[in-house]
Chains A and B, each alone.
Chain A
């Protein structure tokens, strides 16, 4: 079945440690996205990528980094510079700007807790 796989589902981190969240899709989508979800704030865009080897900052990119070396993969690193990293992280993909009305397909999310 086609879809988006995020791992791990739950992750605990000590302050000062970097962590990497995995996102893999087999939908052959060009575009991939990372969102952060906090209670009562909806979804906020961290980074997005429209094509391999290219990515753009979203609204809250500080303290995060990404790479897009393969079409299928868009890992997110939460660095120690992120002041408040405890959150639910969602990865999504879409057909990209070639299909302007295309919806996003979401993974099941990764919940990061900083101890």
Chain B
């Protein structure tokens, strides 16, 4: 079975400060990892993904994430937060093993609030 944990329901950060939204995963086989953002009453928007290669992945709107295989983590980061970054963030994982791929599994989401 595959699973994703987002240990923090809520993250608050001051504008201009760095932000981190945490994600850990559990899969058998190689993981494909994704981050999405959701604004109120909207669909999810893709931010970035890790498939293979460089452990530091850069994505949309200045976000980046670091894949750490030994810690099974894929934390989302941004050097300087904006008020407009306030939204609900989802981490998701998909594994590929034994010749077949599983569907995406989403974490429960982390509400990020950037305070002016």
Contacts and interface: CB of A to CB of B under 8 A. Distances in A.
A105 B90 contact: no
A54 interface: no
Contacts of B103: 33, 45, 48, 58
A1 to B, nearest CB: 15
A100 B101 contact: yes
Range, interface on chain A: 20 to 34
Contacts of A70: none
Which of A35, A58, A104 is packed against the most chain B CB atoms within 10 Å?
Answer: A104
Contacts, number: 53
A56 to B, nearest CB: 9
A2 interface: no
Interface stretch (B14-22, B39-47, B77-85): B39-47
Interface residues of B, number: 22
A109 B108 contact: no
Contacts of A33: 103
A76 interface: no
Contact of A42 (B41, B49, B101, B109): B109
Given A40-B9, A100-B32, A100-B101, A105 B106 contact: no
A90 B94 contact: no
Interface in B13-42: 32, 34, 36, 41-42
A68 interface: no
B34 A103 contact: yes
Interface of B: 9, 32, 34, 36, 41-46, 49, 51, 90, 94, 96, 101, 103-104, 106-109
Interface of A: 4, 6, 33, 35, 40-43, 45, 48, 58, 88, 90, 92, 97, 100-101, 103-109, 111
